[in-house]
Amino acid sequence: MDNQSAFCAEEYDEKICRTLPYYEDIYDQIVDLIGAFGKKDIKWLDVGCGTGKMAEVVQNRLSVKRLVLCDRSDKMLSIAKVKLASYSGTMEFVNCSAQGLTYDNTFDVVTAVQVNHYMNWKNRVLSIQNCYNTLDENGIYITFENVAPFSEIGKDVSLKRWKRYQINKGLSEKESEKHIQRYGKEYFPITIAEHLEIMRNIGFKAVEIFWLSYMQIGLWGIK
């Protein structure tokens, strides 16, 4: 594999919509949230940018002064550069993991969509801490992540619902089951309470949930 997701970079855009419920809505929710804050001429860092979906949506709908796309996959970045070629004047592409970020007090907005669930607790905290450090005062961190149900019963029901979603979107029984089996082995969801705990302990002065569906959660925090 050329990245940490379940799909090769070249098939990612096509496969993710059939695997992750409300994938397109995630980006609409982010744009709507930033619109509510009324920010203009935004300096924006997208961590784990993948094929550039966030940047594509942002450029068409918000006032962005600088947009830095960061990913540890060369292949993902190559695809993003082609997809976003017409916007290249406002963009920078950086091969870097969230744990390796070195910016300080630079950005108005930092986004991390489906990035941290591949990490153990220590690296997850480091990733979010680094994102916090990159923000200017009153900057906004927005993340969408997988969330773990509180009980085994809840986990069982949630995974069954997710499998049904994938099959309804055209995946085979074998394909959908393969995704289900990755839970706790290739990616490591944490509970809502743990998500909030990490962000509060890092120092965000406000932390809020603004989206929840199936086994994904959207959170934002202000530095």
User: Which sequence spans correspond to the domains of the chain?
Assistant: 9-150+187-222
The radius of gyration computed from the CA coordinates of the chain, to the nearest angstrom, equals: 17
pLDDT at 141: 98
Asked if residues 79 and 15 have their Cβ atoms less than 8 Å apart, the reply is no
CA 13 vs. chain centroid, Å, equals: 14
**Furthest-apart CA atoms within the chain: distance in Å:** 50
Query: What local confidence, expressed as pLDDT, does residue 89 receive?
Result: 72
Residue 10, pLDDT score: 53
Which CATH architecture is the domain 9-150+187-222 placed in?
3-Layer(aba) Sandwich (3.40)
Other CB atoms closer than 10 Å to residue 210's CB: what's the count?
A: 15
Q: Which residue has the tokens 């929840």?
A: 212
The two three-digit tokens of residue 198, written as one number: 């990490």
For the chain, 223 residues long, the average pLDDT of each consecutive 10-residue run is 50 71 91 92 94 88 92 88 82 91 94 92 95 97 96 96 92 90 91 97 97 95 98
User: How many residues in total does the chain contain?
Assistant: 223
For residue 138, what pLDDT is reported?
A: 96
DSSP one-letter code for 161 = H
- With left for phi above 0 and alpha for psi between -120 and 50, is residue 133 left, alpha or beta? alpha
